[in-house]
Structure formats: structure tokens, C-alpha cells
Amino acid sequence: MNHSSFHWRLIWFFLIVAIITFGYIALSNKGWLDFLADGTAVRQWVRELGAWGPVSIIGLMTLAIVMSPIPSAPIALAAGAVYGHYEGTIYVAIGSETGAIIAFLTSRLLGADALKEKVDNHYLQRFLDSQNALMAIVFISRLLPFISFDMISYAAGLTPLKFWRFAIATFAGILPASFVLAHFGSELASNENQRIGLTILLLGLIPALLILGKWFSKRLRT
């Protein structure tokens, strides 16, 4: 990558970061961050929008992924409460995928070559060159609720991972979490305590099952 190209990409990158930062400050000053953290208020607002409700869910989920501090869980819960398990899952997944793609492409403005030029470690370089390994990391990270969704998207943009691989791994990984959150929101709206408890249990079991599967895989290889 020549210096002129790198400088222009760097300028565009920081310009986008500045827009996102000022956008976040504006939302905070207008009280939108407090509003988006209130699942009940979001649910009522989405209902009042009528046919524009699904568009608002997709837009808010996209915004929550691009702007890290904005909470996405209340939005996903509202989607499930208003539109049910399956329809709510679709809107949440589309919004999450769109936000992840924007984050990925924003980060990609720096260029994967910029990172590769700075990597001297032979094994790390081989890892960065492995499309399957990078794709697997993106997919697994989407299944783990304690790993930052947006930071993985931005980080993936700095690697040589192909865009279509990132998009597929992200969408496949976010579907289970999107369904669980939408389902949870639907059950909260219906006030069925027993089913809510089962949903919470399922949400907690997802990472546990992943860890257990990894442990069994290691045991089989030894």
C-alpha cells in the first residue's frame, strides 16, 4: 500500500469515527440513550409507529452495533415483545448484520495490508492468512454474549478476512442469540413466568454448551 493511499484511508477512517462520536454525543444530549435503555418505552414507541415499526427496529439495531455504547438488548427484547419470536428474530438479525457490515467496512478503510505489514510473528501471520480460522473466530464470537459484538466487527475489518465470509459467519452466529432475545421479549410481554424462566435458562446454557463442546473436542484429540 503506498503512503498516499494509506493517508487518505486514514483520513476517511477518522472522519467516520468523528461522525459516529458526535452522533453519540448528540443522542446522549437529547436523552435518546436513556430512552433506548428503557425496553418498555422502546416497545411502546415501536407499537405506535405501526408499519414503520420493523424499520425502526432494524435501524436501531444497526445504530446500536455501529455505536458501541448504545444498548442493543432492550431493542431486541422490544422486537420480540411487539412482533413475536420469529418475526422479531428476523428484524433483530437484519439490523445486527447491517450494523456489523458497516463496522467491518469502516475498519476495512485502513486496509488489511496495513496490519499485515506490521506483523512480524510467523505464526500470527499464518493465522491471519487463514480464511477458515478467521471465519471461525467471527462465528464463535457471535455465539458468546460476553464478547463485544461491535468490537469483533471492527477488528475483523483490519484482517484479510473476505467480506462474504465475514457476512456469512456473522449472520449464522447472530441467529441463535437474536432468536433467544426476541423469544425472551415475547415471553416478558405475555407475563408467562414459567416460560420466562426457561428462556433465561436457555440463554445461560448457550455459552455453557459451547465450552462443554470445546472440552469434549479436546478430550477426543488426546
Number of domains within the chain: 1
47/217 Cα distance (integer angstroms): 46
Please give the grid coordinates belonging to residue 190. Answer: 405475555
What is the pLDDT, as a whole number, of residue 209?
Answer: 52
Domain that holds residue 11: 3-221
Ranges of residues in the chain whose predicted pLDDT is under 70:
1-7, 9-10, 13, 110-129, 145-146, 187-222
What is the pLDDT, as a whole number, of residue 124?
Answer: 47
What is the pLDDT, as a whole number, of residue 205?
Answer: 52
Please give the grid coordinates belonging to residue 130. Answer: 487463514
What is the pLDDT, as a whole number, of residue 61?
Answer: 92
Q: Which amino acid is at 141?
A: S
- Environment class of residue 219 by beta-carbon count within 10 Å: exposed (0-12), middle (13-18) or buried (19+)? exposed
Global pTM reads 0.73
192/195 Cα distance (integer angstroms): 6
DSSP of 56-119, one letter per residue?
HHHHHHHHHHHSTTS-SHHHHHHHHHHHHHHHHHHHHHHHHHHHHHHHHHHHHTT-HHHHHHH-
What is the pLDDT, as a whole number, of residue 167?
Answer: 94
Q: Which amino acid is at 71?
A: P
73/149 Cα distance (integer angstroms): 12
What is the radius of gyration, based on Cα positions, of the chain? 19
